[in-house]
Amino acid sequence: MKRNYSAFAEDIPPYSGPKAARETYADLKQLSAIPGHIYTPPELQILPGQRRFSKMPWLVPMLELLPPTSIGHLKEWGLSTVFVLSRNYNKLVHAWESVTAMVELWHPQTNSFIFPEFEATILLEELEIMLGLPRYQRGEELAISYTVEQINSWSILAYITTKKNDLYSMTSGMHVHLLPIAQWITSQCKQKTTNYTAIAKAAAICICGVILFPESDGAISFGNLSIIDSISEGIKIGQAVLGFLYAGLTSAALGGPFYGSVIALELWMGMHFQFRTAENPNTECKTMLNHPLAHVGGRLHMSTRAWCKTAQVKGIQAWRQYL
Q: Is residue 192 part of a domain?
A: yes
On whether residue 84 sits in a domain, the answer given is yes
* Residue 47 in domain: no
User: Residue 94 domain-assigned?
Assistant: yes
Q: Give the pLDDT mean for 198-209.
A: 94
Is 289 a member of any domain? no
Domain that holds residue 61: 56-135+151-272
Report the alpha-carbon distance of residue 183 to residue 293 in Å, rounded: 29
Task: Measure the CA–CA gap between 59 and 283, rounded to whole angstroms.
Answer: 32
| Residue 196: strand, helix, or coil | helix
User: How much is the pTM?
Assistant: 0.78
Q: Are 78 and 238 in contact (CB under 8 A)?
A: no
| Mean pLDDT confidence for 52-57 | 61
* pLDDT for res 279: 59
Give the number of domains in the chain: 1
Q: How many angstroms separate the CA atoms of 313 and 306, rounded?
A: 17
Residue 171 lies in a domain: yes
| Closest to 74 (Cα-Cα) out of 91, 57, 62 | 62
Burial 102-115 (b: 16+ CB within 10 A, else e): bbbbbbbeebbbbe
- What are 95-150's pLDDT values in tens digits? 778 888 888 899 988 899 988 888 899 999 999 988 999 887 766 655 554 555 55
147-191, pLDDT tens digit by residue? Answer: 555 567 778 888 888 788 888 888 887 888 899 999 999 999 999
Write the secondary structure of 128-170 as one string of H (helix), E (strand) and C (coil): HHHHCCCCCCCCCHHHCCCCCCCCCHHHHHCCCCCCHHHHHHH
